[in-house]
Amino acid sequence: MRSGRARPVGIDLARARSAVGDLLGALGRDTASEHLAETPRRVADALAELLTPRPFEMTTFPNDEGYDELVLVRDVPFHSLCEHHLLPFHGVAHLAYLPGERIVGLSKLARVLEHFSRDLQVQERLTQQVADLLQDRLEPRGVGVVLEAEHLCMSLRGVAVTGSRTVTSALRGTLREDPRSRAEFLALVGAGPVTRSYPS
């Protein structure tokens, strides 16, 4: 699996709870108050859940029928945490592949996305990680991934542009190299202008 970087080895909940308490204190909040006494525990537990992917197996099957057209799952909801501000970004993903010798259970496409989403992320990296794993494990003729997401670090702070969406794509194989296949994929997902994330 090419994830772009190693995952953390573990989560120290006691240390995380203490750190949240220190942060609240530094922000002028009284963690001894009845309303905030359990907040460090709740925040640490919530972050641990958001940063812990569920295990899954990338089960594939022989493409006995020789299906050779695009397989596309649209509008898969996802959420992740921006590594720059620790604020969520969320949206939908469109995941596609052109089968080669094997096919994959459709739910596994969403599970790949969830696996990489449960981390501190940037959308560009997340897009590439999903595409790379599908390409590596499935060995299809092509892979297409488009993510559309709203980033709360943009909509709640700074420029505060509520409702704006960032669109990224990662194309591999035929979906990158063949203009007609690429145009078909992008038309089916209705992505509009995209920022493509190609491997270096």
Which residues have a catalytic role annotated?
Answer: 82-85, 123, 151, 153
Closest Cα partner for 112 from 127, 91, 90? 127
Rg (CA), the chain: 20
Strands, sheet with 88-98, edge to edge from the N-terminal-most edge strand: 120-121, 71-82, 88-98, 142-151, 166-173, 195-196
Closest Cα partner for 96 from 86, 108, 109, 84? 109
- The amino acid at residue 56 is F
Instruction: Give the span between the Cα atoms of 87 and 13, in whole angstroms.
Output: 19
Dihedral of alpha carbons 193, 105, 99, 198, sign: positive
Residue 6 is given by DSSP the state P
- The β-bridge partners of 92 are 77, 148
